[in-house]
Amino acid sequence: MINGKMKFDVLTIFPGFFDSPLKQSILRRAAEAGLIDVSIHNIRDYTTDRHRTTDDAPYGGGAGMVMKVEPVVRAIESVKGQGTEALVVLVTPQGVPFSHELAEELSRRRRLVIVCGRYEGVDERVRAFVDMEISIGDYVLTGGEIPALVIMDAVSRLIPGVLGAEESPKSDSFANGLLEYPQYTRPEVFRGLRVPPVLLSGNHGEIEKWRRAESIKRTLRRRPGLIRGAKLTDEDKKLIKELTGSDEML
């Protein structure tokens, strides 16, 4: 981080895409508090022709256009040289799956340069100039701008001080390998649907026990594959065995 900040540099051909998201909610608050710094760089500024061309037809034929290697690499090299050492990330459906664990790893970095592709993707030679490729899911978007925002949002909220104490990320889904427990607020009863009595009891020990159990139950129902990688206590394992009738999940 530069002077205590996490520095994000985003390379894109649509810099205006980020105007509104960066002025909202957590990202805005983090920037105003001096905890993150986001710079958007227009890849077209690194072209050399009068039309500022960033794409061309693919060699070998085929549908769509491909982002040219020269302006993208010029942008990467120029931006990397503007500050402290950076990790260069290319967002692409072919990258490693983005996860809570990867967000935590990235949040410990000082600086991230995020390259947003478009069209049919980037010239393959761009990959020689990046450190990591990340995918936010098994689907295709029109460009890398939305994945870049996802990465910045997920990473920023893990930086100390970005979230207040009342918004700690430690209980979030995936933070401990499990889905988060159910949450409720007023009113106590809505159309016959009641808040679980234990949450109204004031007994914090019982509340924490209930939340842990509900987190395990929800994970077993919705994402059972997460259980094997979760941090489980002996009490957790006992509950899972009771719920499933076996210890195959452990």
- Residue 146 to residues 19, 135, 143, 166, 206, Cα–Cα distance (Å): 13, 11, 7, 28, 41
Give catalytic status of residue 172 as yes or no.
yes
Residue 114's nearest CA partner among 218, 36, 228 is 36
- Which amino acid, one-letter code, is at 38? V
Task: Select which of 15, 123, 145, 157 is catalytic.
Answer: 157
Give catalytic status of residue 120 as yes or no.
yes
Helical segments of the chain, H only? 25-32, 69-80, 100-107, 145-156, 204-222, 234-244
The sign of the CA dihedral 131, 139, 97, 183 is positive
Give catalytic status of residue 157 as yes or no.
yes
Task: Select which of 58, 93, 169, 182 is catalytic.
Answer: 93
Cα 188 from Cα 207, distance rounded (Å): 16
Task: Select which of 153, 172, 180, 214 is catalytic.
Answer: 172
| Cβ–Cβ < 8 Å for 75, 46 | yes
Cα 71 from Cα 127, distance rounded (Å): 14
Task: Select which of 70, 120, 133, 153 is catalytic.
Answer: 120
Compute the radius of gyration of the chain from its Cα atoms: 22
Which positions are annotated as active-site residues? Answer: 93, 120, 157, 172
